[in-house]
Homo-oligomer: A and B are copies of this chain.
Amino acid sequence: MLGRPRRLVLLAEGAFTPLDAKTAVGVLRYRAADVAAVLDSTRAGRTAAACVGVGGAVSVVATLDAAAAAGGDSLLIGVAPQGGALPPAWRALVRDALARGWDVLSGLHVFLADDPELAAAAAAGGARIVDVRRPPAERTVGAGRASRAGAVVALTVGSDCNVGKMTASLEIVAALRAAGVRAAFVATGQTGIFIAGSGAVVDAIPSDFVAGAVENLVLEAARDAEVVVVEGQGSIHHPGYSGVTLGLMHGAAPEALILCHREGHERIRAGAAGDPVWPVPPLAELIRDNEAAAAWVRPAPVVGVALNTYGLAEPAARAACERAARETGRPATDPVRFGAAALAAALKERIQVVAPGPTRAPGARGTA
């Protein structure tokens, strides 16, 4: 989807902070070697690590010229602004990058390729605009085909959006590979796609094709993998996103779930002041409900808990993981701070127990 190897320049103008530049931070955490520079004129001269804690010595620059001097050849929109549109201040930067012949990679809700001015700049510069939120042209209605993927399929599920599902998935894949397992990551959101180079932004797909799109991604990833870890989205308990979550879940037809939660997170991020408040259910309820939902297509136990302890001191973080393990009877870890080995082990174990053939999981509803 993203094409050739690139030297990325991450556009984060005026917003290169851990909270505002989630996409840039994700790319820096997992693909720093491909990043030439970060563009934020308000922070020029610093390093990425000094601004957001990851990305090491990658430098923050003020202009496209400086980014080009650092070796950049592609511009990646590193921020997801409120409303999903291109902030007016960035338009000139995007246009100038295209005019230089740089491809522009965007996860914005508005498609940059549909903007006449930017499309003309791309044509003139011989550059490509890649809108990763654009739904795949192929429109498949899901039929639970991934239940026969021939690999162990695991899905990260969560107590809410933004609790660490993508990060947990990537850390688990890295830990599986470190343990000698052929593991693949399936990206379902823009940042995951920028990191993996392929995938589909499922929340932008017309709802009747979400499961089918995920099914196709999983079947493709399973060709070369013993374990496929699918990045989950949202939460079945989120009043706005639960449909995305369930479509993704049934499309992936996983046989194992990893529950992701941010320690201390108590209210689901939905609505505004005056709207109803949706508490995050206790871990035991999250496990029960996600296992129930998965089983409507294919039974899948929660085999571990990935706890995001960002902001906690280390002793408190360790205590939180121990508490989660006790409370759930599952291995629990913060995969970023303490590694994902325990979660990877729980999945690696399943490679042996799974028999080949059309009805792989005991009790699966799908039979030939």
Contact surface of A with B, Cβ cutoff 8 Å: 135, 141-145, 147-148, 202-208, 210-212, 236-237, 239-248, 250-251, 253, 270-272, 274-279, 289, 292-293, 296-297, 358, 365-368
Supplied contacts A143-B270, A237-B296, A247-B247, 7 more A-B pairs, CB within 8 Å: A142-B241, A143-B240, A237-B297, A239-B253, A242-B250, A243-B250, A293-B293
Which of B207, B244, B279 interacts with A365 by CB under 8 Å? B279
Q: Check A211–B236 contact: CB distance below 8 A.
A: no
Taking the nearest CB of chain B, how far is it from the CB of A73, in angstroms?
Answer: 31
Q: Given A236-B296, A239-B143, A270-B142 in contact, is the A244-B208 Cβ separation under 8 Å?
A: yes
Q: State the oligomeric state as a number of copies.
A: 2
Which residues on the B side are within 8 Å of A246 (C-beta)? 236, 242-243, 245-247
Q: Check B244–A250 contact: CB distance below 8 A.
A: no
Which residues on the B side are within 8 Å of A143 (C-beta)? 239-240, 270-272, 275-276
Taking the nearest CB of chain B, how far is it from the CB of A293, in angstroms?
Answer: 7
A44 and B212 CA atoms in complex are apart in Å by 40
Question: 21 A-B residue contacts at CB 8 Å?
Answer: A143-B270, A143-B272, A143-B275, A144-B240, A144-B278, A148-B276, A203-B208, A206-B206, A206-B207, A207-B210, A207-B243, A211-B239, A211-B240, A211-B241, A236-B296, A239-B250, A239-B366, A243-B245, A243-B246, A245-B246, A276-B368
Which residues on the B side are within 8 Å of A368 (C-beta)? 274, 276-277
Q: Given A296-B237, A297-B239, A358-B276 in contact, is the A271-B206 Cβ separation under 8 Å?
A: no
Taking the nearest CB of chain B, how far is it from the CB of A164, in angstroms?
Answer: 19
Which residues on the B side are within 8 Å of A367 (C-beta)? 276-277
Q: Check A142–B239 contact: CB distance below 8 A.
A: yes
Q: List the 3 closest pairs (A to B, CB-CB), nearest first.
A: A243-B247, A276-B366, A143-B271
Q: Given A270-B142, A277-B367, A277-B368 in contact, is the A247-B207 Cβ separation under 8 Å?
A: yes
Which residues on the B side are within 8 Å of A207 (C-beta)? 202-207, 210, 243-244, 247
Which residues on the B side are within 8 Å of A289 (C-beta)? 292, 296
